[in-house]
Amino acid sequence: MMPTLSLITRFVCTLFLISMPLCAEQVTPSASYQETLKQFLEISRTNAILKEINGDELIKQITKEQDMTETQVNKITHIVHNAFSSIIKDLESQMPLLYSKYYTEQDLQDLIAFYQTPAGKKLATNAVAIFNDSQKLAQTIMSQYLPKMESQIRQILTESKK
């Protein structure tokens, strides 16, 4: 279960760092900017991608090959889903600050116009599938490297105890 806890820790830390305020002196974007961003996130299907991040893969990793009762699995599922829900809410609350760092309101309006074109609609339509496929691909690739890396780390830790 160590690899799973390691992955959980890295994932939670990454999301925590992303959801932290980006810059203390950064001004909260205007209501107009936030409304334009809301439209952009909807038309680009970024919101749909965020909704896909629910912790189900993490739950599978935690519970696979574990001798758990259905009650334990249900409790773990509840804990992970609640944590991910909170993480996504925190992340969403920081989106205006994040996007305003890189895009003006006019930029977002231009992107919205692009997403209304056939190519933009295709990009938005496939966004969730591409996200899911890239997650699966990343997991497959990581699983090829993690055992060797963990073995090397354990060896270093064992040598340091001698």
Q: What would the pLDDT profile of 104-151 be if each residue is shown by its tens digit?
A: 999 999 999 999 999 999 999 998 899 889 988 988 898 898 888 888
Residues 6+ apart with CB under 8 A from 126: none
Q: Of 10, 26, 13, give the one whose Cα is nearest residue 94.
A: 26
Cβ atoms 20, 88 nearer than 8 A: no
Higher-pLDDT residue of 99, 24? 99
pLDDT confidence of residue 19: 52
What pTM was estimated for this model as a whole?
Answer: 0.65
pLDDT tens sequence across 40-93: 999 999 888 888 788 888 888 888 878 889 999 899 999 999 998 998 899 889
